[in-house]
Amino acid sequence: MRVGCPKEIKVHEYRVGLTPESAAELVRAGHEVFLETKAGEGIGAPDSVYEKVGVKILPNADAVFEKAEMIVKVKEPQAIEIARLKPHHVLFTYLHLAPDPEQTEGLMKSGATCIAYETVTDKDGRLPLLKPMSEVAGRMSIQVGAHFLEKANGGRGVLMGGVPGVRPADIVILGAGVSGYNAAQIAVGMRARVTVFDKNASRLEELDREFNGRLETVYSTSAAIAEAIKEADVVVGAVLVAGAAAPKLITRDMLKTMRTGSVLVDISIDQGGCFETSKATTHSEPVFTVDGIIHYCVANMPGAVARTSAFALNNATLPFTMALANKGYKQALLDDPHLANGLNVYEGQIAHEAVARDTGKAFKRPNWLG
């Protein structure tokens, strides 16, 4: 198969869909790999490193899309990229269609087969291709919160871990999944006071045992969240419903009860955000303030640590990329129902039920998938 990897063009997105190691595996399996020039520079991988493993370097994205049958990316395609897609293309990348009607319409019109990292599952119903970036975002969320708590950055002037005689920051984490767990690890490590909310009582029990009482766990209700955020210095939104828009857990009115200079970090922003006042931001302008509360809503948080993120992502995606290339997309999806759950758009139709529901489109699963 001819596999193409264009340079990411989202603002301050430095990751790359194929690391040199992943590209080498594809070449070794007999596939042709095309890379847009300088696509790997953001992770410290110049064109020469790719050329050494047999990758063909092309001068621009147009050439990559023209040559390739399968396009492997990181972030959702931008409008100019969607315009390059043709019905014969297989697109394998993060899509996050639920809160993005323009992208959804564009992909449907393209006729391309679009497989989303974030809805591929494993045998336990987890999301293995979302996990590595959720780990990165969770850990970053506490770094970000600590940074914007500093007075010079508009925050309350609170040190995350406090000092002897002065209490540490109060951190509220909404969601005990992969992102929430990783946020808790860093926050506890920085000696903050941490409270984790979730609706899964078993998961809260697991966290209580693992952290040995170094954090508090609370069953998530609107009333409990409303009470907790009054004293919070940082609130991390780490809520995920696979393929669907994130629920709004903090309303505009609730902001008025919070301390001026507190920080909201919305990891869920890719799926529309879990705060009513959230709107997607970029690494160039990462924050905005509503009612005195700082909002950090960068939609590609892991792009800030591109090398770590790209290698972690490729570790997870490579087996699926290889399956798609080796077998062709139809056979790969037929052989692996978990990969088949990643199919979001096919022949102009939405092929994932949760995505269809949240985008208001008709759901149509391909007949050949059964």
Are 159 and 293 found together in one domain? yes
Which residue type sits at 324? L
Are 280 and 171 found together in one domain? yes
- Residue 251 sits in a domain whose CATH number is 3.40.50.720
Examine the fold and report which residue of 257, 278, 299 is the final residue of a domain before the chain moves on.
299
The contacts of residue 202 (CB under 8 Å, 6+ apart) are: none
Range of the domain at 22: 2-120+306-369
125 DSSP 8-state letter? S
Are 144 and 222 found together in one domain? yes
Are 18 and 142 found together in one domain? no
Q: Give CA 42 to chain center in angstroms.
A: 18
Question: For 291, how many CA atoms within 13 A lie in the half-sphere containing its CB?
Answer: 13
Contact indicator for 135, 232 with CB cutoff of 8 Å = no
**Which tens digits make up the pLDDT trace of 338-348?**
999 999 999 99
Are 147 and 257 found together in one domain? yes
Residue 152 lies in a domain: yes
- How many Å apart are CA 208 and CA 205, to the nearest integer? 5
Are 110 and 78 found together in one domain? yes
**Which tens digits make up the pLDDT trace of 177-218?**
999 999 999 999 999 999 999 999 999 999 999 999 999 999
In which region does residue 103 sit, left (phi positive, over 0), alpha (psi from -120 to 50) or beta (all else)?
alpha
* 3-state SS, residue 341: coil
Question: For 205, how many CA atoms within 13 A lie in the half-sphere containing its CB?
Answer: 3
- The catalytically annotated residue of 31, 89, 96, 352 is 96
Residue for token pair 């990411």: 8
Overall number of domains in the chain: 2
Q: Verify whether residue 31 is a known catalytic residue.
A: no
Cα-Cα-Cα-Cα dihedral of 84, 85, 87, 93, to 10°? Answer: 170
pLDDT at 242: 72
The contacts of residue 315 (CB under 8 Å, 6+ apart) are: 132
Are 80 and 135 found together in one domain? no
- The catalytically annotated residue of 270, 295, 336, 358 is 270
Enter the pTM of the model: 0.90
> Which stretches in the chain have pLDDT values below 50?
none
- How many Å apart are CA 55 and CA 34, to the nearest integer? 6
Q: Verify whether residue 96 is a known catalytic residue.
A: yes
pLDDT at 244: 75
Are 107 and 255 found together in one domain? no
Are 278 and 147 found together in one domain? yes
Examine the fold and report which residue of 267, 299, 331 is the final residue of a domain before the chain moves on.
299
